[in-house]
């Protein structure tokens, strides 16, 4: 089929989902629209990265950086414009205005050239697709259940069973499929597996910052909801700048070195936001450094994964990197929520207890990202050995 028609279909599905949510008379219709938005959005970033990698040769790192910068710019615009649109025109207008913007993106996507060189249309793997989707749903629901009960409670145990059953079925189906949805032999490549693991650990750090930073500003600095929302623009601005520069660095120094820089910088941000005694300095300096670290995460991880997977696997490798980062985004906030749930809110020192819980969340993020640094060092050593052996 090629990447171009799938990308166009993804953009169209996303725009349609926004429109459905905006015009729906009830909550069910809004949810249906949100489902379409998620379905469409899931394909846009991985496919854009695959197209950039295959279509721009020696400049692929720069293009991947620009894609990440555009992604960050969209996040900033959504935060700053979404609140104003909601206040002035209501919630429906948020969906309707963004549906127009998405429709423009759909129109532009029709101008993209086809970059795939595959001559034969691959077979669809329905069994693997269903089993994989069910396993991912089980993973998400498991962590939702863990937010309210222990692993062996009725809140979590059914989803653990679902995850294990669907995951086992997926592995069985993929090993027997003539053309599997995901070629499991990819994970025999230490470089590819390492990038996926580093992306997962980096995703934990990324979503901890994005999820808890606004509420931390309210508690630490006494900000209102609006002030807290706008305060994360500092992190977002540094993310955009770092993403663009990171792409150039990937072309010059290689993605493994840049990935190590990204994770080490994110670890430094977690340390700064908890260690500096002056609250304002801790918050804004930590946010700025986090923006540099998180903004430089996507280009090197995507570039390294696509390279390790080899020609013809650009789409699936980029998609797996995005998926691993998203799974990290489930783990990080869930663990953070569990830490907050253990806070003593009834004592005279409730505010101090809450702030201490937030610091524990950031310490969890610090150790997780430091583990990612270890993986990045391993990737750097593996790559150096490969280059020296040629």
Give pLDDT, residue 390. Answer: 63
Give pLDDT, residue 204. Answer: 94
Helix (H, G, I), strand (E, B) or coil at 90: coil
Distance of CA 217 to the CA centre of its chain: 23
Higher-confidence position of 170 and 349: 170
345 lies in a domain?
yes
115 lies in a domain?
no
119 lies in a domain?
no
What's phi and psi for 302, nearest 5 deg?
Answer: -65, -45
Residues 244, 325 within the same domain: yes
64-73, 225-234, 321-330 — most confident range: 321-330
CA atoms within 13 A on the CB side of 343: 21
Counted residue by residue, the chain has a size of: 390
Question: pTM for the full model?
Answer: 0.82
CA atoms within 13 A on the CB side of 193: 10
Contacts of residue 101, Cβ cutoff 8 Å, sequence gap at least 6: none
Residue 120 has pLDDT above 60, yes or no: no
Reported as a pLDDT band with limits 50, 70 and 90, residue 181 is confident
147 lies in a domain?
yes
Longest Cα separation, the chain: 70
Report how far apart, in Å, the C-alpha atoms of 6 and of each of 40, 111, 182, 270 are. Answer: 10, 13, 18, 38
The residue among 180, 202, 217 that closes a domain is 180
Eight-class DSSP state of 187: G
Residues 280, 310 within the same domain: yes
CA atoms within 13 A on the CB side of 11: 21
Reported as a pLDDT band with limits 50, 70 and 90, residue 292 is very high
* Residue environment code for 299-322, b if the CB has 16+ CB neighbours within 10 A, otherwise e: bbbbbbbbbbbeeebbbbbbbbbb
299 lies in a domain?
yes
The residue among 109, 142, 172 that closes a domain is 109
Residues 197, 222 within the same domain: yes
Residues 78, 148 within the same domain: no
Residues 291, 241 within the same domain: yes
Residues 150, 100 within the same domain: no
Among residues 234, 297, 263, the alpha carbon closest in space to that of 367 is found at 263
Give pLDDT, residue 229. Answer: 76
Mean of all residue pLDDT scores within the chain: 84
Residues 352, 290 within the same domain: yes
Residues 233, 154 within the same domain: no
- Write the pLDDT tens digit of every residue in 296-340: 988 899 889 988 888 778 778 888 888 898 889 888 988 888 888
Residues 275, 321 within the same domain: yes
Could you tell me the end-to-end alpha-carbon distance of the chain, in angstroms, rounded to an integer?
36
132 lies in a domain?
yes
Residues 176, 224 within the same domain: no
223 lies in a domain?
yes
Q: Give the position of tokens 């807290």.
A: 228
The domain that holds 341 is classified in CATH as: 1.20.1250.20
Contacts of residue 110, Cβ cutoff 8 Å, sequence gap at least 6: 8
44 lies in a domain?
yes
Q: What percent of the chain has pLDDT over 70?
A: 93
Give pLDDT, residue 117. Answer: 56
Total structural domains within the chain: 3
- Write the pLDDT tens digit of every residue in 349-368: 778 888 889 999 999 999 99
Both tokens of 97, joined, read: 């205005």
The residue among 180, 201, 220 that closes a domain is 180
* 8 Å CB contact between 123 and 144: no
Residues 195, 310 within the same domain: yes
Q: How many helices (H) and strands (E) does the chain have?
A: 14, 0
Q: Where are the alpha helices (DSSP H) in 110-156?
A: 126-146
What residue numbers bound the domain in which 63 lies? Answer: 3-109
Residues 251, 352 within the same domain: yes
């Amino acid at each position: 089929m090629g990447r171009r028609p799938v990308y166009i279909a993804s953009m169209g599905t996303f725009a349609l989902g926004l429109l459905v949510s905006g015009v729906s008379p009830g909550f069910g219709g809004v949810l249906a629209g949100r489902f379409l938005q998620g379905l469409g959005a899931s394909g846009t970033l991985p496919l854009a990265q695959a197209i950039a990698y295959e279509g721009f040769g020696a400049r692929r790192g720069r293009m991947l950086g620009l894609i990440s910068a555009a992604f960050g710019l969209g996040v900033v615009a959504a935060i700053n414009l979404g609140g104003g649109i909601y206040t002035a025109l209501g919630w429906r207008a948020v969906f309707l205005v963004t549906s127009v913007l998405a429709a423009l993106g759909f129109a532009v996507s029709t101008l993209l050239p086809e970059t795939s060189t595959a001559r034969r249309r691959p077979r669809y793997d329905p069994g693997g697709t269903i089993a994989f989707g069910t396993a991912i749903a089980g993973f998400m629901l498991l962590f939702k259940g863990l937010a309210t009960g222990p692993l062996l409670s009725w809140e979590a145990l059914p989803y653990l069973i679902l995850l294990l059953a669907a995951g086992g079925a997926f592995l069985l189906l993929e090993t027997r499929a003539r053309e599997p949805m995901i070629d499991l032999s990819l994970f025999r490549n230490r470089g590819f597996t390492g990038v996926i693991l580093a992306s997962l650990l980096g995703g934990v750090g990324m979503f901890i910052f994005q999820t808890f930073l606004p509420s931390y500003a309210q508690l630490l600095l006494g900000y209102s909801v609006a002030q807290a929302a706008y305060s994360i623009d500092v992190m977002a601005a540094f993310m955009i700048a770092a993403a663009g520069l990171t792409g150039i660095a990937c072309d010059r120094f290689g993605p493994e070195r840049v990935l190590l820089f990204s994770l080490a910088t994110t670890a430094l941000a977690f340390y700064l936001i908890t260690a500096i005694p002056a609250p304002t300095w801790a918050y804004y300096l930590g946010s700025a450094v986090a923006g540099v670290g998180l903004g430089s995460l996507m280009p090197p991880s995507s570039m390294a994964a696509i390279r390790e997977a080899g020609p013809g696997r650009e789409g699936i490798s980029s998609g797996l990197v995005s998926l691993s980062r998203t799974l990290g985004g489930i783990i990080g906030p869930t663990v953070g929520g569990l830490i907050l749930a253990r806070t003593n809110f009834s004592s005279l020192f409730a505010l101090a207890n809450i702030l201490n819980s937030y610091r524990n969340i950031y310490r969890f993020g610090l150790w997780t990202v430091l583990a990612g640094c270890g993986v990045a060092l391993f990737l750097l050593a593996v790559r150096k050995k490969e280059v020296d052996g040629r």
